[in-house]
């Protein structure tokens, strides 16, 4: 299976999973670039990580080419908030693409219906786990979001992470300002170099998040010390996580 990152809107990524002339689209933000990426491919399904407009805007145009299953979370189907959703999935459920079998992870916090898809060595995290950061907590609580980030971070470190936005440089700038560490600085340099060449920073190993993402590393001494400076109890993981997220919201 190949993964093609399709830049959409100002900083979104839709993803086209390709195998033997067939495709699955994850989070079609808008129609035109996704339709162009699908040229010559047979679309098997559309998978959504959550219901936000910048992830679902292209669904209608894709369905106009022919009906395909539209997969999203149970919560989002119950809320009827993903256009054309036909399949509802949740924690541990299986998704299939050709002979590949993948699984779904519930990751509430950014929204209550947020889910991740793990398939073929790839992990699609939507707006929950970003490269070097995490999404805003709109519908869940800080403990809910932390549990979701932990759930993703505990998966196979060799998985390639494909997230919903190109926020990597800004996220790592925040991480570096919060708690400067050589691994964070090195990753920030690498991300800036990729962006200078117009290339995506995503598709990196999950291990990079364990090494450099402060929202994954709420237990690291440098991150706990930074949280303490922000007024949080460094021994309380939810307080540390919440202080980091609140600081990032203001940053």
Residues that bind Zn ion in the complex, under the rule CB under 5 A: 54, 127, 164
| Annotation says 110 is catalytic | yes
Q: Which helix (H) or strand (E) holds 221?
A: helix 221-229
Q: How many residues does the chain have?
A: 251
Catalytic residue among 27, 51, 54, 75: 54
Tokens 């022919």 correspond to what residue? 66
Residues 110, 118 contacting (CB under 8 angstroms): no
Which window, 45-53, 71-79, 141-149, 220-228, contacts Fe ion (CB under 5 A)? 45-53
Which window, 38-46, 89-97, 123-131, 202-210, contacts Fe ion (CB under 5 A)? 123-131
Minimum distance of Fe ion from residue 52's CB (angstroms): 4
**3-class DSSP state of 244:** helix
Pairing verdict, β 42-47 and 22-26: parallel
Residues 119, 104 contacting (CB under 8 angstroms): no
Q: Which of Zn ion, Fe ion, none does 118 bind, CB closer than 5 to 8 A by kind?
A: none
52 vs 217, which CB is nearer to Zn ion? 52
Q: Which of Fe ion, Zn ion, none does 166 bind, CB closer than 5 to 8 A by kind?
A: none
| Annotation says 105 is catalytic | no
Q: Exactly one of 27, 30, 127, 209 binds Fe ion (CB under 5 A); which one? A: 127
Query: Is residue 187 a contact residue for Fe ion (CB under 5 A)?
Result: no
Distances from the Cα of 164 to the Cα of 7, 143, 169, 227, 239, angstroms:
10, 22, 14, 26, 26
C-alpha to C-alpha distance for 32 and 26, rounded to whole angstroms: 15
76 vs 127, which CB is nearer to Zn ion? 127
57 vs 242, which CB is nearer to Fe ion? 57
**3-class DSSP state of 141:** coil
164 vs 237, which CB is nearer to Fe ion? 164
Q: Which residues contribute to the site for Fe ion (CB under 5 A)?
A: 52, 127
Catalytically annotated residues: 50, 52, 54-55, 110, 127, 165
């Amino acid at each position: 299976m190949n993964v093609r990152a399709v830049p959409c809107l100002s900083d979104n990524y839709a993803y086209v999973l390709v195998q033997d002339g067939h495709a699955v689209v994850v989070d079609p933000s808008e129609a035109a670039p996704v339709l162009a990426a699908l040229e010559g491919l047979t679309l098997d399904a559309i998978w959504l990580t959550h219901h936000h407009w910048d992830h679902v805007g292209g669904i209608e145009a894709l369905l106009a080419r022919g009906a395909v299953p539209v997969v999203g979370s149970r919560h989002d189907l119950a809320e009827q908030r993903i256009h054309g959703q036909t399949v509802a999935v949740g924690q541990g459920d299986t998704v299939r693409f050709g002979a590949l079998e993948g699984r779904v992870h519930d990751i509430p916090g950014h929204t209550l219906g947020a889910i991740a898809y793990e398939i073929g060595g790839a992990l699609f995290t939507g707006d929950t786990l970003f490269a070097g950061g995490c999404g805003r907590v709109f519908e869940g609580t800080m403990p809910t979001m932390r549990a979701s980030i932990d759930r993703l971070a505990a998966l196979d470190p060799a998985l390639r992470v494909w997230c919903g936005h190109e926020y990597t440089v800004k996220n790592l700038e925040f991480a570096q300002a919060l708690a400067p560490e050589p691994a964070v600085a090195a990753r920030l340099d690498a991300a800036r170099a990729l962006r200078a060449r117009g290339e995506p920073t995503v598709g990196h190993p999950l291990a990079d998040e364990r090494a450099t993402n402060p929202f994954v590393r709420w237990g690291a001494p440098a991150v706990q010390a930074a949280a303490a400076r922000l007024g949080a109890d460094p021994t309380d993981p939810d307080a540390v996580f919440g202080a980091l997220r609140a600081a990032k919201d203001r940053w």
